[in-house]
Structure 1
Amino acid sequence: MKVFGFAGWSGSGKTTLLCKLIPELVSRGVSVSTLKHAHHNFDVDKPGKDSYEHRQAGASEVMISSGNRWALMHELRGAEEPKVEELIDKMSPVDLLLIEGFKKSAHPKLEIHRPAVGKPLLYPDDPHVVAIACDQALGDTPLPGLDLNDVGGIADFIIAHCGLAHA
């Protein structure tokens, strides 16, 4: 399974790009899964639902299943957040796992940069950034610069970088 990440400051457009890129890759025959890091307390469950009540009662893991999907929720209960490699190991194999966030992890990444956000580039401080996608022309950088609005071109770059020859 190939792994490729997307890193950038909040508001740079990582999720927007991924939501356009996933169907582009799938249309080219690439099976895709995603792994998203959340910086805040989040919950995919709702109070009053049985699965929520099971977790509140102290269950370490709760699995929900239906004819359409299944989900496994694991409560850390004060334990350290798992490293990205541990989370990847829990994923079912696909051609390409796209990771949003986890910008300090050591997997190849496309930096999403918008000067209007007012934040500096993550590159060159992150040696795992392999290209930069921006909505404006970039200054002098040895990395490939991609047009943030050219989803097909970004898909071409990822396919080539990851060696997904069949796509």
Structure 2
Amino acid sequence: MSSQRIFGVTGWKNAGKTTLTERLVEEFVRRGWRVSTIKHAHHDIDIDRPGTDSYRHRAAGAGEVALVGGRRYAIMREAPEPSISEVLGRLSPADLVLIEGYKREAHLKIEVRASPEAEPLAPGDPAIVAIAADYQPTGGALPWFRRDDIAAIADFIARRTG
């Protein structure tokens, strides 16, 4: 893995991972941190739209297409899924990288739970070091935070990542 400060947000679909990640980014940026994120999807993704010039370049067979505008750019590459280490290695320096998804990777993570009925991930993953849920989880000794207690979760992440 990388020497960067990284921390993950994991959980089942519709548990609130994206909302928590978004709110943590806002909190850390408010604190003056430079934050990057990685979002893992379990399906094919396409950030391009049919009919655009860059889409047409890819459709014609380009293995890599850079889409460059005045304030941002994206490089789309036709390739097998890279490892999380490869993705981390391509990011610019940041104070913190928040990783949404990647349930099976070994970086420190907080598990987001939407309901007590959801099967917990923490018992099978020693990298899960806290739980975010709107109810007190039963069984287990991990720190628990309400999903909307963003400042406390950010403080915890800051301490755990050094």
SS in structure 2 of the partner of residue 98 of structure 1: strand
Give, in whole Å, the separation in 2 of the partners of 1:159 and 1:30: 11
Give, in whole Å, the separation in 1 of the partners of 2:77 and 2:93: 20
The match for 1:89 is: 89
Aligned runs of 1:64-103 on 2, under 5 Å? Answer: 64-76=67-79, 79=80, 81-103=81-103
The match for 1:35 is: 38
Aligned runs of 1:19-30 on 2, under 5 Å? Answer: 19-30=22-33
Deviation at 1:148, TM superposition (A): 1.1
TM (normalized to structure 2)?
0.94
| Structure 1 residue runs of 4 or more that deviate by more than 2 Å after TM superposition | none
Deviation at 1:138, TM superposition (A): 1.3
Sequence identity percentage: 47
Give, in whole Å, the separation in 2 of the partners of 1:33 and 1:55: 26
1:37-69 deviation line (CA, Å, top 9, x unaligned): 111222110111111011111111101111110
**Residue 59 (structure 2) pairs with residue 56 (structure 1):** yes
Letter in 1 for 2:118: K
The match for 1:120 is: 119
Deviation at 1:30, TM superposition (A): 1.1
SS in structure 2 of the partner of residue 53 of structure 1: helix
Give, in whole Å, the separation in 1 of the partners of 2:150 and 2:6: 18
- The gaps in structure 2 that reach 5 residues or longer are none
1:19-38 deviation line (CA, Å, top 9, x unaligned): 11111111111110100011
Letter in 2 for 1:83: S
Letter in 2 for 1:48: G
- Paired positions, count: 159
TM (normalized to structure 1)?
0.91
Bigger mean CA offset, 16-25 vs 3-12: 16-25
The match for 1:136 is: 135
